[in-house]
Amino acid sequence: MNTTFITRLTRAMLPVALLAMTAGWQVPVQAATNCAGGTCVFGGTGNDAMTNEEARQSKEQWNETQRLRAMKNQRNEKDFSKYDNAIDLRDKCEASQNINAYWEPNTERCLDRRTGRQLMAP
């Protein structure tokens, strides 16, 4: 009767023990890397607090620089689109059949010579 109890206890505890052993092995492995935000910085053993802090600061600086670069590129694309649209409108205005249409370079609009109003479709 005693061996039956030990056998049942072993069968019941074996999956729990394997799960605990697997989880115990994964925690140090994941703690050794600093991959929280997508930019991974590997710092050797991972035990040195100063190294981890330097890696965190480096990652933070990289993310901030990347964000600023993206904002600058977006602004350049927006300015280029505005400039490109103005050139297209100027070309349409100058090629217009309307003899009263003229291009105002300061406001970048196609205006009517008689009224001074903007022409919608030159």
Q: What is the pLDDT of residue 15?
A: 79
pLDDT one-digit tens code per residue, 79-93: 888 888 888 889 998
pLDDT one-digit tens code per residue, 60-74: 999 999 999 999 999
Tell me the pTM: 0.40
Using DSSP's 3-state secondary structure scheme, residue 101 falls into strand
Alpha carbons 78 and 72: distance in angstroms, whole number: 10
Question: What's the rounded mean pLDDT across residues 25-42?
Answer: 58
Question: What's the rounded mean pLDDT across residues 56-60?
Answer: 90
Which residue carries 């406001």 as its tokens? 107
Which residue carries 């350049």 as its tokens? 76
Strands 41-42 and 33-34: antiparallel
